Amino acid sequence: MHQHNPFQPSPRPSSGPAPTLLGVWAHPDDETYLSAGLMGRWSDAGASVSNVTATLGELGFPDTDRRTLAQRRVTRAAELQDALAVVGVSELRVLGLPDGGCAEAPRADLVAAIAAVIEEVRPSLIVTFGPDGITGHADHVAVGAATTAAWQHVGHGDLLYATKTRRHLDEFATLHRELSVFEVEPEGTTESDIALRCHLEGGEIERKRRALAAHASQTTGIAAAMGEVVYRRWWAEEEFRAPRASDMQEFSRISPHHLQDS
């Protein structure tokens, strides 16, 4: 049994619309690493789960990979669909931005695209990146900022940022350095600031592992480098925090002015 949390739905009521979870991420596998357990729980409860992916992550291959960019996109799109099917995601939308290009995309256009999805889906809860982007990746930061701006404009549902606790970062600090996991080391979140934690056990662990295995082009190597036991412990907890006032100030420069005029 999981302790009730307002950000995790109770079983679906017999009447009325189902609650909806919307994830907005930059690359295929972001959603699985950061929220596969959460998506599975919402799906199990009868909720609708939708996912937005800004890019198809075509740059996420070693230089020795001989596939063209188009072939890489096909590979990663198929992996993404397979992974989402494992955790019961009912809808996938790909924005089609180039990998590595989210920060350079016209900000108002990116905000408008995400706002349009929020308007249509009317999610109960939105999950995305906070200002640190978890890893510091510019695409992550840009997508989190645009989602925050879109959420502020539409004004529907709650918003949570995927995060890592300081405890987690301390525990895996050596591993993160050895494998160059972060472009910029995140500050981490204190335990008191965690609004939602999914501690995965048993069948949830196995389901998330299957979803990660679907992203074979990205996860096979890192799982082997860590070892299976450590790899599973590395992602066994998913943590989210609410936006702070400072986040709103930081993201306020990204405003969908053209939406307000429509």
Contact predicate 71/231, CB 8 Å: no
**What is the value of pTM for the model shown?**
0.91
pLDDT tens-place string over residues 53-82: 999 999 999 889 999 999 999 999 999 999
109: CATH: 3.40.50.10320
Model confidence band, residue 254 (pLDDT cutoffs 50, 70, 90):
very low
Please give the mean pLDDT across all residues of the chain. 90
Determine contact, residues 161/7, Cβ cutoff 8 Å: no
CB neighbours of residue 127 within 10 Å: 26
Total domains in the fold of the chain: 1
Whether the Cβ atoms of residue 8 and residue 2 lie closer than 8 Å to each other: yes
Give how far Cα 244 sits from Cα of 69, 94, 130, 195, 249, Å.
Answer: 38, 28, 10, 12, 9
| Confidence class for position 248, pLDDT limits 50, 70, 90 | confident
- Confidence tier at 1 by pLDDT (50, 70, 90): very low
Helices first, then strands: H and E counts in the chain? 11, 7
What token pair was written down for 260? 């307000």
Q: Domain span at residue 169?
A: 20-242
Q: What is the DSSP code string of 183-211?
A: SS----B-GGGEEEEEE--HHHHHHHHHH
Judged against a pLDDT cut of 80, whether residue 26 lies above it is answered with yes
Q: What's the CA gap between 153 and 191, in Å, rounded? A: 30
Q: So what's the pLDDT on residue 94?
A: 98
pLDDT of residue 12: 54
Tell me whether residue 248 is in a domain. no
Least confident range from 3-7, 50-54, 206-210, 233-237: namely 3-7
Percent of the chain with pLDDT over 90: 81
Task: Answer whether residue 102 is part of any domain.
Answer: yes
pLDDT at 104 over 90: yes
- Residue 9: inside a domain, yes or no? no
If pLDDT is split at 50, 70 and 90, which confidence band does 256 have?
very low
262 within a domain of the structure (yes/no): no
Is there a domain that residue 89 lies in?
A: yes
Task: Specify whether the backbone of 57 is left (phi greater than 0), alpha (psi in -120 to 50) or beta.
Answer: left
pLDDT of residue 7: 77
